Structure 1
Amino acid sequence: MRSTIFAFALGLLASTAAQADVTVYSAGPGSLINDLAKGFTAKTGIKANVFQATTGKVMARLEAESSNPVADVVISASWGTATSFAAKGLLLPYTSPNAETVPDFLKTDTAVAQGVAGICIAYNTKSGLPVPKDWADLAKPEYKDMVTLPDAAASGGTYSLVEAFAANDMNGVLQSIKDNGAIVAGANAAALNPVLQGSKAAVFAAVDYITLGAKAKGESVDIVFPESGTVVAPRPMMILKSSKNQDDAKAFIDYVLSEEGQKAVAKVYLMPSRTDIKVDRPLIGDLKLLSSEGAPARDAVLDGFKAIFN
């Protein structure tokens, strides 16, 4: 009798372990993380609990829970999160077998990109103005007072571009669009909305997947990746060393990097991290990328941006 009860108990524990939940904190599109969680559960039988918010709110929640960690996996909109967390020893080393075709600059031993956003020019296709081909085109007379841009202090993508401009001695471009009447409108959505509404014609440093999503909904907007170069913003996935469900967390990373998971990433107009996933949009290999090597420290970059845009 005892052996029967013992065997039953072991079976129950094994079943419980197999169905253990994984908790994912994610910045970025809510539809994406919800689709990934649903697909992961269907594939593995493991429930994925999701907290979706801005990167700032995700970081605040992690900080509030630091004495009793809850999250297993964190997905940020800023690669700087992965760098910072790794430096603090907060991350579990893991390399997914599905990361083989992810370029080296999109992965480390403790983080891998879920997908990648590109920084571009977004323009209103009904503005009647020439389609811009490079950043400096937005300083031309026809674009006077018709350009917005996100605040580098509020938008990680804009900060990355401004950082690259500083590293490549391109701050004169920022000054020229400021002199042409460009205005800092706030975060990404605040900069894009006037262009969607037609009161402005273009966004300097728009986020590609947000703009392409608006285009897919029928808005009169499209994107251009400037000829002189741009930057991309990888979205790192990380397993916290404090995770109590490390095997399930690894399985979640594997799923996101599977063909099915990467197609879900592409569905919201992000670039897949894997180079073997083909989608009908510009990919990293199609872009000229600006290096940020040699850029000043973050505070100095932001001080330079503020000095130009008051």
Structure 2
Amino acid sequence: MKQLIALAAGLALSGLTAPLAQAATTLTVYTALEADQVKEYKEAFEKANPDIEIRFVRESTGIITAKLLSEKNNPQADAVWGLAATSLMILDQQGMLQPYAPKGVDKLSPEFVDKAKPPKWTGMDVWAATICFNTVEAAKKNLPKPESWADLAKPAYKGQIVMPHPASSGTGYLDVSAWLQMMGEKKGWDYMDKLHANMAQYVHSGSKPCKMAAAGEYPIGISFEYRGAQLKEKGAPIDLIYPKEGLGWDLEATAIIKGSKKLAAAQKLADFSVSLPAMRLYEKNYAVLAMPGVTKPNPFIPADYAQRLSKNNFAWAAKQREAILREWSRRYESKAEPKS
């Protein structure tokens, strides 16, 4: 026994003992990505960066945005991976983002990258408004198929529509922002007054209205394109309608939170988020990506989808967000889904 102890001591002194395994860096990442995306994105990043482990905090866009703002003076997140660009613009206005040009950012379309040098955020993909229309339930109720946003305000659809709450959901906010930009503020609010009369409920998720329509709970759900395409591909009796006036939309994007004590790891996340392997992950869910030439045709999303996106002043949408949500809540909160 004494000989073994002496041998171990000698090995230690000579530096021949096996080094202790270095603990992985834990990176706290806030996201509004859909829950079914988070696992795959995490696995891909950690495979490429085995010395870093992601701890995701996931919620809907509005909730994550509010959480980040409430933590401004004591940041808990190191980075954001998958949040609306309009939300990141609000954080930038508050001085909360760390400038960084990820490796490979030059391969992205310039309009999908923050104009600051170096940029405060980098885009990933586009998601846009879509109406999920349950043809079976609509036939039972003799409801015509809508073709436009204007159609949804018709009395025939009273109590038949669900949409996301804009304070909770980025999808809900891009709808409201787009209507105000497309129609002008007065006509936009007049339109939403009429739409409110037909609304069954405002729910706290961008994907939930399409899921509810697919399940037959309501015939019409205002949601976004890729969730609708996924549900239709699985056999849901829904048609996807892309209103002819134009589609409200936003960018999902990545940013580093200023003050992160794990800056090097957060920069690796930003690097990965703009890489081709990451874009191939995004491509499974989105029809327009920040990196050109990666997307493939989707049978349920029109080939001219990008041309159907409405003109979107992101800076205006970010600056006016608080005032718009305050007015929206004053008018329409009575039909909001109870928060769980």
1:39 to 2:37 alignment = no
Partners of 2:204 and 2:25 lie apart in 1 by 38
Q: 1:160 aligns with which of 166, 171, 174?
A: 174
Q: How does 1:293-308 map to 2 (within 5 A)?
A: 297-306=320-329
Note closer, same or farther for the CA distance 1:61–1:261 as it changes in structure 2 (3 Å cut).
same
1:26 to 2:47 alignment = no
1:49 to 2:63 alignment = no
Kindly state the Cα deviation for residue 107 of structure 1 after the two structures are TM-superposed: 1.6
Q: Deviations over 1:68-126 (max 9, x none)?
A: x5533213533233113222332221122433343333221110123222112121132
Number of equivalences: 301
Partners of 1:250 and 1:212 lie apart in 2 by 33
Partners of 1:30 and 1:199 lie apart in 2 by 22
Partners of 2:266 and 2:69 lie apart in 1 by 17
Match of 2:291 in 1: 274
- The secondary structure found in structure 2 opposite 1:119 is strand
1:287 to 2:292 alignment = no
Q: Deviations over 1:206-234 (max 9, x none)?
A: 12233333334332224222111122121
Note closer, same or farther for the CA distance 1:60–1:174 as it changes in structure 2 (3 Å cut).
closer
Q: 2:131 aligns with which of 93, 118, 121?
A: 121
Match of 2:224 in 1: 207
Q: Deviations over 1:249-272 (max 9, x none)?
A: 222222222222112122244743
Note closer, same or farther for the CA distance 1:76–1:297 as it changes in structure 2 (3 Å cut).
same
Match of 2:122 in 1: 112
Taking structure 2 as the reference length, the TM-score comes to 0.73
1:148 to 2:162 alignment = yes
Please tell me whether the aligned partners of residues 178 and 310 of structure 2 are also in contact (alpha carbons under 8 angstroms). Answer: no
- The secondary structure found in structure 2 opposite 1:100 is helix
- The secondary structure found in structure 1 opposite 2:124 is strand
Aligned-pair identity (%): 21
Partners of 2:167 and 2:34 lie apart in 1 by 20
Amino acid at match of 1:174: M
Partners of 2:329 and 2:316 lie apart in 1 by 20
Amino acid at match of 1:122: C
Match of 2:91 in 1: 85
Q: 2:216 aligns with which of 191, 198, 204?
A: 198
Q: 1:73 aligns with which of 79, 100, 108?
A: 79
Please tell me whether the aligned partners of residues 214 and 236 of structure 2 are also in contact (alpha carbons under 8 angstroms). Answer: yes
Note closer, same or farther for the CA distance 1:200–1:20 as it changes in structure 2 (3 Å cut).
closer
1:174 to 2:220 alignment = no
Please tell me whether the aligned partners of residues 129 and 242 of structure 2 are also in contact (alpha carbons under 8 angstroms). Answer: yes
Partners of 1:208 and 1:27 lie apart in 2 by 16
Note closer, same or farther for the CA distance 1:191–1:39 as it changes in structure 2 (3 Å cut).
closer
Kindly state the Cα deviation for residue 235 of structure 1 after the two structures are TM-superposed: 1.8
For the pair shown, the structure with the greater C-alpha radius of gyration is 2
Please tell me whether the aligned partners of residues 77 and 257 of structure 2 are also in contact (alpha carbons under 8 angstroms). Answer: yes
- The secondary structure found in structure 2 opposite 1:24 is strand
Partners of 2:72 and 2:179 lie apart in 1 by 37
Amino acid at match of 1:248: A
- Over aligned residues, Cα RMSD in angstroms? 3.6
Taking structure 1 as the reference length, the TM-score comes to 0.79
Amino acid at match of 1:119: A
Please tell me whether the aligned partners of residues 195 and 201 of structure 1 are also in contact (alpha carbons under 8 angstroms). Answer: yes
Q: Deviations over 1:134-154 (max 9, x none)?
A: 111223454343222222333
Q: Deviations over 1:141-185 (max 9, x none)?
A: 543432222223332222222123223324243234345x23333
Amino acid at match of 1:123: F
- Structure 1: state its 5+ residue gaps: none
Please tell me whether the aligned partners of residues 98 and 257 of structure 2 are also in contact (alpha carbons under 8 angstroms). Answer: yes
Partners of 1:78 and 1:7 lie apart in 2 by 55
Q: Deviations over 1:238-287 (max 9, x none)?
A: 11232333333222222222222112122244743222212234476232
Note closer, same or farther for the CA distance 1:71–1:294 as it changes in structure 2 (3 Å cut).
closer
